[in-house]
Structure 1
Amino acid sequence: MELMDRYLALVGFGETGWGALLLTAAAMTLGVSVCGFLTGMVLGSVITFMQLSRYMVLRWLADGYTTVLRGVPDLLVVYLFYFGGTAFLGYLGGFFGYQGFIGMPAFLTGTLALGVVSAAYQSEVFRGAFNSVARGELEAASAVGMRPWPKFRRIIAPLVLRYAIPGLGNTWQLVLKESALISVTGLVELLRQSQIAAGSTRRPFEFYLTAVVLYLVITWVSSIVFRRLETRTLRGTRRAL
């Protein structure tokens, strides 16, 4: 009991507790992960259109993008965005006469890095989902004279989303784990806050264990959300036995 009381005092919300800071950091982790995931969804959709294009140049560019981004370490992508963005902002500031240091915002760096990396995976998910759509449904929409945008909005997008949700759930889990890499830019997310607390109290095990629990809670809630989304998109369809 004494050990548990000491642990609760460390991670609680009292005067010496780190509970509020850990929850704030967990919210930051969730925020940068959601922004990165949504950015990757938009960019991944564009890459998918390029992959399915009848123009060979666009297909080559899309394939090159997914090959490079899936082959390069994610931490290297974070560094490239942070230092590359800082250099660009410094050059831009110098152009307007400002000689001071301009650092790339850590949250923006995380959003862009996570989005660019996850887009490579999400594009493959979308492409596989599109290839799973029955050709007859698309041909039927064309046969009745449906224009491209209504056809996409009413037929293609709902069907692709139905098949893509399980894969998107896996991609979301990857984005959530990769968000810990953003701590190298100075963003105080869950892992970084755990490191700060562990260094200040010299109790690393307790704080890293708490970080594990918070990550698992976010993962568990996320799994429930994606399962419900999958169930909702399958409403009205008949599953194969």
Structure 2
Amino acid sequence: MAEQRHEQVDARERRGAPDRERPGRHAVLEEARAWEALVTTARRTVADQLVVGTSGNVSVRVGDTVLVTPSGVPYDRLTPDDVTGVDLTGRQVLGTLRPTSELPMHLAVYRTTDAEAIVHTHAVHATAVSTLVTELPRVHYMAGALGGPVRVAPYAAYGTQELADHMLTALAGRSGCLLRNHGTLTYGTTLDQAYDRTAQLEWMCRLWLTAASVPGLEPSLLTEEQIAEAGERLRGYGQRD
């Protein structure tokens, strides 16, 4: 029996501190459901090869609480007990696992936009493009879904306020940007929308790299006006109530 109790204690320590030692409060039902959706989205980024291992991160806002993937934990190991949340100042209010190191970027977006969800990836084609240009060439009208031509934020070390500041500048009037030598960040009013914008951004980067690789030919590009027109049309895209 003593050995069994010892094993139970070890298991709790591997998962984090016992419940009585968890900081703050327990997740309410809405937060628990949002956490489940967040974990599903995080796992999707791996399945769709937008991240490798524990790179990238996902967050969702529930009221004044930001649920976010924890630092260095493989997404397939996350459980309902691992819910990790902070307030808009960055103070941890849910869970014991340390939040992602990119928390400054997530909080900067939530403080300055209407974002309800954020997806950050290290998608290979988008990251490759971020090393080549200061703005993704206007190769496809889906840039309109992100608010216009996608900018590249200057490089800064990951997890720093400097990177968050560069990102906000690149995001002005946009819902997505590239991070030089780093990856992508997109946001939306739902996790599905934020994820779709990430996937579309990666696809556009792959498209441009493919077209630009043909010897002796240059891809035709759209004008900013054409991108803006597409953006207006895309606002009414899909099913309506």
TM range, normalised to the smaller chain? under 0.3
Q: Which has the higher helix share?
A: 1
Query: Under a length normalisation based on structure 2, what TM-score does the superposition of the two structures give?
Result: 0.21
Structure whose CA Rg is larger: 1
Query: Under a length normalisation based on structure 1, what TM-score does the superposition of the two structures give?
Result: 0.21
